[in-house]
């Protein structure tokens, strides 16, 4: 079931990538649009928290933050598809894409923390876990050990967790769904860091033995 869903999503993204290519968009341009949308999502979460006593304004801002987050995530998937489909993948492009994604992750979680939409401790743990999840993959792959799909949550799942929490908060603004989503994200992302550490350790030992012979 999940494989079929993933295949369908990839098909949609590829179709959109072809359309964007016809319109003259380059992968780096799409990446830049994605990071701007992501940062504005974080700012909007913060603004929503500042108006939490005005329910309708709060709901509108959470909904807007949700849309910005989803479009930012879509741009992140789209720039990779563009690069692969039209042979525009570069080492610099991959580096910038990964770097900009971290700014988006930090902006969204800082927006939740500063807006009082989650408990600061859980927000910080979610931020640390999200950044270290990505760092663990980058460091592992730099050592020649692939890390894709290893662990409980990757970036798409992290965005999905916050998107679902935000959608619930739009419908039921008095529920602490964003705080709950942040707690889930904090636990899941840090568990992923542990999983990736153990995976890297298990794969690195045989390599070390071979190189020492």
Q: Residue 80 has which token pair? A: 């990779």
Tell me whether residue 101 is one of the annotated catalytic residues.
Answer: yes
Q: How far apart are CA 7 and CA 4, in angstroms?
A: 5
From residue 125, alpha-carbon distances to 4, 108, 149, 163 in Å are 33, 14, 22, 18
Q: Residue 12 has which token pair? A: 């949609």
∠ CA 123-136-166, nearest 5°, is: 30
- Do you know the residue count of the chain? 213
Q: How far apart are CA 179 and CA 202, in angstroms?
A: 35
> Of 76, 79, 97, 101, which is the active-site residue?
101
Residue recorded with tokens 């859980």: 122
From residue 180, alpha-carbon distances to 13, 58, 139, 185 in Å are 30, 18, 30, 9
Q: Residue 74 has which token pair? A: 């879509």
Q: Which residues are tagged catalytic? A: 101
């Amino acid at each position: 079931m999940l494989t079929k869903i993933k295949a369908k999503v990839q098909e949609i993204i590829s179709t959109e990538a072809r359309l964007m290519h016809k319109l003259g968009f380059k992968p780096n341009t799409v990446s830049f649009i994605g990071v701007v949308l992501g940062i504005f999502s974080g700012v909007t979460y913060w603004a929503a928290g500042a108006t939490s006593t005005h329910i309708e304004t709060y709901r509108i801002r959470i909904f807007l933050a949700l849309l910005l987050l989803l479009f930012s995530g879509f741009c992140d998937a789209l720039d990779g598809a563009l690069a692969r489909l039209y042979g525009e993948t570069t080492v610099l492009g991959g580096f910038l894409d990964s770097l900009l994604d971290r700014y988006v992750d930090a902006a969204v979680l800082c927006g939740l923390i500063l807006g009082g939409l989650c408990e600061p401790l859980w927000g910080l743990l979610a931020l640390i876990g999200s950044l270290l999840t990505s760092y663990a993959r980058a460091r592992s792959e730099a050592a020649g050990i692939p890390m894709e799909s290893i662990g409980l949550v990757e970036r798409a799942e992290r965005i999905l967790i916050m998107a679902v929490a935000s959608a619930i908060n739009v419908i039921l603004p008095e529920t602490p769904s964003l705080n709950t989503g942040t707690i889930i994200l904090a636990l899941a992302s840090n568990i992923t860091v542990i999983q990736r550490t153990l995976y890297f350790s298990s794969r690195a030992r045989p390599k070390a033995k071979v190189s020492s012979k």
